[in-house]
Amino acid sequence: KQWYQRRVVITAGNSHVRYGAALALGISCAGSGMKEALSILEPMINDPVNYVRQGALLASAMVLVQQNEHMCPKLKTFKDLFSKTMSDKHEDVMVKFGAILAQGIINAGGRNCTVSMRTQYGHTNVPSVVGLLVFTHTWFWFPLSHFLCLAFQPTYLIGLNKDLKMPVMKFKSCAKPSTYAYPPLLEPPKEKEKEKVSTAVLSTTAKKAAKSKSSSATPMEVDTPAAADKKAEEKKEEKKEENKEEKKEEKKEKADEEKKEKKEEAKFELIANPARVLVEQRNVMDIESSSRYSSVWNRNGLGGFIVLRDTKGGAEEDIIETLQPTTAAEDTTTEEKEPSPPEPFEYTE
């Protein structure tokens, strides 16, 4: 009934209601990749009103945050739609702006962030709520779109020892690597090689060239027309053979790639500390059995910061070195002294 009610609201006659319902659906289903939500938002992308199409693009990007083709098969179609809308010269500017924002949302934080109004422990995150509230007013003033950054939350798993330092260790993801892998990067369009076009030779010029050759060349140097035809045929055959060899090599390369893909994928994956772990992936995360560390807090799934217990106390630990951020401006330039305040004076007309 809830999905039916949402579909009724989104197909309402008022365009402002449709825009608000689309954003509400995107915020409520952010990062879930729900098929029902996408099935409602997909027809709204072809809405006759421009700002409704913008809202549908933004909402669909929120739903598809941190999704890959294994988790959501419709991801590729929506990504192609975003890029097509951005490059379409005949599309409305408002819709293009929505497609640009959608492309940024779907790749937020280098695909290491999700949109959420709750912390990893289930508590309400007030800055995220405020950020999404202000973001919904982007239609009024477009710089308000920056407030969406308050709702971005990184998805990570970091193990710390008793000194709150990161030891060298590995976590075990009890799922296939492709299940929670990064989506493929955008590839630039390949430049097509320009084929050389043979220059057209007129019959009159050919006759003139033949006459000049017959008058100037010796009998030994003149080629008969039959020999010239044979040479042309031999060249054509050589080109055909070269093209056949190139096609065979391409087929072999494709077959090798298919064989690599068909190889059985591992049923688990070892991820080094610190790790990128999605919200859905936390339930399948565990510490490797052969590791010297174990989690202090015994719970189902791992995510966020966890404190580790060292089973080999006293032995040396391999610690991951952390680099402190430095600014080049502090080293190269010196701060200028502020000017002194003006002397007191009396104002007279």
What is the tens place of the pLDDT at every residue in 45-63?
888 888 889 999 999 999 9
**What pLDDT score was predicted for residue 340?**
86
**What pLDDT score was predicted for residue 182?**
84
How do strand 304-310 and strand 293-295 relate by DSSP bridges? antiparallel
Q: Which residue has the higher pLDDT, 228 or 128?
A: 128
pLDDT at 239 over 60: yes
Residue 271 pLDDT class (50, 70, 90 cuts): confident
Q: What is the mean pLDDT of residues 84-91?
A: 88
pTM of the model: 0.69
Q: What is the mean pLDDT of residues 76-82?
A: 88
**What pLDDT score was predicted for residue 333?**
56
Token pair in block for residue 228 = 């010239």
What long-range pairs does 99-102 form, CB within 8 A, spacing at least 24? Answer: 99/57, 101/57, 101/58, 101/61, 101/138, 101/145, 102/57, 102/58, 102/60, 102/61
Token pair in block for residue 52 = 């409704």
| Residue 301 Ramachandran class (φ > 0 left, ψ -120 to 50 alpha, else beta) | left
Q: Could you identify the residue written with the tokens 């779109």?
A: 145
How do strand 304-310 and strand 113-115 relate by DSSP bridges? unpaired
Q: Which residue has the higher pLDDT, 227 or 277?
A: 277
What's the mean per-residue pLDDT of the chain? 79
CB 278 within 8 A of CB 66: yes
Which residues, at least 6 apart from 315, have a Cβ–Cβ distance to it below 8 Å?
292
pLDDT at 331 over 70: no
Token pair in block for residue 108 = 């937020």
**What pLDDT score was predicted for residue 131?**
93
